[in-house]
């Protein structure tokens, strides 16, 4: 039985505003509150209050994050109008600073602005995370910030403004899109598997970004490869190249190029036969950095990928996630090795448990640090089947007895038949290599969007049939 989807609503006491404080601009972001150092609700109406030391670049970066949340880079065929509920950036406050994040409406672009604690003059700080209200007047006010003017950030507001006959009450509710939770999960999966491939100085970065096309066909995929001083776009992959599907999406960084001090490009290992993959672009700014992760295709939203499905499919991984959640508390940065020792789970099972927590948006990965970070959104991990239809389909196949090894006498089966939808498919499991399936879905995606439900069902059948893997999140090689 599929668990019901629970919607999380944030109630704001007021709209976000930018007003004058002692003659200086002060940004007050409406939020639902925060936690103090003892992880209890803070009595302070804000969970962050202070000044960024580089207000111009931070204001411009925040505007880009908000713009991504309002942008749609791909419109499906036949969609005449996009009936979308407003989405607002997620802001996280921790002892390490502030982090603003958003997804595009098509969920194919993830933007994150990190402002380190060392780049903030902090008046008050507590750990907290929420969806912030970014309204048009606020965006206009940020755009009007002039050089030399300070900007005060106050994240959080516990007041409910009420007006009777001569006053008014303001309460705004914003639903965090369910697609964002799946997107957060898939972005951390893709970014945790990349490495630094290229690095550009400020001038070369500006030249490259401004040379990108403003439009491209839906299926357009090019590869950023090293040129003499900068990068060039190639039509085919090569060693060291980073996939850039829909290159105009990267022009999102253009408003920030006047502040840029450098650009770093991350991607998985590639060669002449590589399939399109997600790429991550980190723009260094004074006092901040903007990270933009692009999906492997304009028509591919991160919420539809399946990079974590194998990791979250086992009951042991879900049980281990509960142990890990208790150990994390509000720890802003996650040390996988230390958690493996403290919990007794080991690195592999901690990694699988982190993937489970990521399905509720709680875990992210920062390629610039590099390492995992905690984003404790108020969602539980119990609705995996509802969030991942392929996982639900695989479990249904298992329950129907639709999976059988081709060689029942083998101690560790490598090939299976899976009966699904009136058809019989052959699945071949290759530890250390890509699995394969004879189904049309696999033929179309070739494993590039995670496993099909038949491969998942075969993996789960082998795991449940092998006593050596019981109680573990991963199979024993």
pLDDT in tens, 217-249: 988 899 999 988 789 999 999 999 999 999 999
**What does the pLDDT average to over 140-151?**
80
**What percent of the chain clears pLDDT 70, i.e. is strictly above it?**
76
Strand ranges of the sheet holding 221-226, from the earlier edge strand across to the other edge:
231-234, 221-226, 242-245
**What does the pLDDT average to over 402-413?**
79
**Does residue 114 lie in a domain region?**
yes
Lowest mean pLDDT among 53-62, 341-350, 353-362, 407-416: 407-416
Cα 387 from Cα 179, distance rounded (Å) = 9
Q: pLDDT-based confidence at 26, cuts 50/70/90?
A: low
**Does residue 150 lie in a domain region?**
yes
- What pLDDT, on the 0 to 100 scale, is given for residue 11? 47
Cα 339 from Cα 328, distance rounded (Å) = 9
- What pLDDT, on the 0 to 100 scale, is given for residue 172? 44
Domains held by the chain: number: 1
Q: At what angle do helices 136-143 and 55-69 cross, to 10 degrees?
A: 150
Radius of gyration of the chain (CA): 23
**Does residue 163 lie in a domain region?**
yes
Task: Tell me the range of 77-91, 148-162, 292-306 where mean pLDDT is highest.
Answer: 292-306
**Does residue 36 lie in a domain region?**
yes
- What pLDDT, on the 0 to 100 scale, is given for residue 127? 80
Place of tokens 């940004």: 27
Strand ranges of the sheet holding 333-334, from the earlier edge strand across to the other edge:
333-334, 371-374, 363-366
Cα 23 from Cα 19, distance rounded (Å) = 9
**388 CA to centre of own chain:** 16
- What pLDDT, on the 0 to 100 scale, is given for residue 326? 80
The reported pTM is 0.83
Those residues with Cβ within 8 angstroms of residue 101's Cβ, 6 or more apart along the chain or in another chain: 65, 89, 90, 91, 92, 110, 111, 112, 113, 184, 364, 375
pLDDT in tens, 297-340: 999 999 878 878 877 777 788 888 888 888 887 778 898 998 89
**Does residue 88 lie in a domain region?**
yes
**Does residue 87 lie in a domain region?**
yes
pLDDT over 60 at 180, yes or no:
yes
Q: pLDDT-based confidence at 23, cuts 50/70/90?
A: low
**Does residue 234 lie in a domain region?**
no
pLDDT over 60 at 197, yes or no:
yes
pLDDT over 50 at 8, yes or no:
no
pLDDT over 50 at 1, yes or no:
no
Residue 450 has what DSSP assignment?
A: B
| CATH label of the domain that carries residue 90 | 3.10.150
- What pLDDT, on the 0 to 100 scale, is given for residue 366? 96
**Does residue 341 lie in a domain region?**
no
Cα 10 from Cα 131, distance rounded (Å) = 7
Give the domain extent around 57: 9-177
Q: pLDDT-based confidence at 137, cuts 50/70/90?
A: low
- What pLDDT, on the 0 to 100 scale, is given for residue 432? 62
């Amino acid at each position: 039985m599929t668990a019901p989807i629970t919607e999380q609503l944030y109630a704001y006491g007021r709209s976000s505003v930018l007003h004058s404080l002692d003659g200086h601009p002060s940004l007050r972001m409406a939020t639902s509150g925060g936690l103090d150092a003892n992880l209890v609700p803070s009595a302070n109406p804000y969970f962050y209050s202070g000044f960024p030391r580089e207000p111009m670049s931070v204001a411009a970066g925040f505007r880009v994050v908000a713009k991504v949340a309002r942008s749609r880079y791909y419109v499906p065929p036949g969609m005449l109008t996009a009936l979308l509920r407003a989405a607002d950036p997620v802001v996280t406050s921790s002892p390490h600073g502030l982090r603003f994040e958003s997804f595009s409406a098509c969920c194919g672009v993830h933007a994150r602005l990190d402002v380190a604690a060392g780049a903030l003059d902090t008046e008050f700080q507590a750990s907290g995370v929420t969806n912030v209200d970014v309204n048009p007047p606020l965006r206009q006010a940020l755009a009007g910030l002039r050089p030399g003017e300070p900007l005060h950030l106050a994240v959080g507001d516990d007041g409910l403004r009420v007006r009777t006959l001569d006053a008014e009450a303001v309460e705004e509710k914003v639903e965090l899109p369910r697609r964002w939770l799946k997107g957060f999960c898939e972005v951390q999966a893709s970014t945790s598997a990349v490495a630094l491939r290229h690095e550009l100085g400020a001038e070369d970065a500006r030249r490259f970004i401004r040379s990108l096309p403003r439009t491209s066909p839906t299926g357009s995929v090019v590869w950023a490869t090293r040129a003499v001083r900068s990068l060039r776009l190639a039509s085919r992959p090569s060693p060291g190249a980073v996939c850039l599907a829909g290159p105009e999406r990267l022009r999102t960084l253009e408003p920030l190029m006047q502040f840029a001090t450098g650009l770093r490009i991350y991607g998985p290992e590639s060669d002449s036969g590589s399939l399109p993959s997600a790429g991550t672009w980190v723009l260094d700014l004074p006092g901040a950095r903007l990270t933009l992760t692009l999906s492997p295709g304009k028509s591919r939203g991160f919420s539809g990928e399946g990079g974590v499905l194998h990791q979250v499919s086992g009951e042991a991984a879900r049980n281990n996630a509960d142990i890990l959640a208790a150990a994390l508390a509000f720890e802003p940065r996650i040390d996988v090795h230390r958690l493996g020792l403290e919990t007794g789970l080991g690195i592999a099972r901690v990694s699988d448990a982190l993937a489970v927590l990521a399905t509720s948006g709680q875990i992210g990965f920062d390629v610039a640090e590099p390492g995992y970070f905690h984003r404790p959104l108020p969602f539980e991990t119990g609705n995996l089947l509802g969030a991942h239809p392929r996982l639900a389909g695989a479990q249904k196949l298992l329950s129907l007895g639709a999976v059988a090894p081709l060689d029942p006498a083998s101690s560790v089966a490598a090939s299976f038949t899976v009966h699904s939808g009136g058809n019989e498919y052959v699945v071949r499991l290759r530890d250390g290599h890509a699995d394969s399936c004879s189904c049309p879905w696999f033929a179309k995606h070739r494993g590039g969007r995670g496993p099909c439900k038949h491969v998942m069902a075969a993996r789960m059948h082998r795991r449940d049939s092998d006593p050596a893997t019981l109680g573990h999140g991963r199979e024993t090689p």
